[in-house]
Amino acid sequence: MAGAPDAGEILRGSGPVLVYRPAGGDQTVVKRLADAGDIIALRRFERERRFARLLRHPSLPRLLAEGDDWIAFDALEARSLQHRGLDPAAVRAILLALADALAFIHARGIVHRDIKPAHVLFRGATPVLIDFGIAGTPDDDLQQAELSGTPAWMAPEQLFGGAVGPAADIWSFSALGLFLLTGEKPYAGDADTVLRLRRAGEPPAFAMPATCVRDDPALAGLLKAGLGSAAGRPAAADFVRRLTVRR
What is the 3-state composition of the chain as percent helix, strand, coil, each rounded to the nearest 5? 40, 15, 45
Catalytic residue among 6, 35, 74, 114: 114
Radius of gyration of the chain measured on its C-alpha atoms: 18
Judge whether 86 and 180 are in contact, CB under 8 Å.
yes
Judging by beta carbons within 10 Å of its beta carbon (0-12, 13-18, 19+), is residue 190 exposed, middle or buried? Answer: exposed
Torsion region of 104: left, alpha or beta (phi above 0 gives left; psi -120 to 50 gives alpha): alpha
Judge whether 71 and 30 are in contact, CB under 8 Å.
yes
114 is catalytic: yes
Report DSSP letters for 73-104, one per residue.
EE--B------SS--HHHHHHHHHHHHHHHHH
Residue 61 DSSP code: P
Measured between alpha carbons, how far is residue 156 from residues 31, 149, 159 in Å? 30, 11, 5
Q: What are φ and ψ of residue 217, in 5° steps?
A: -60, -30
Catalytic residue annotation: 114
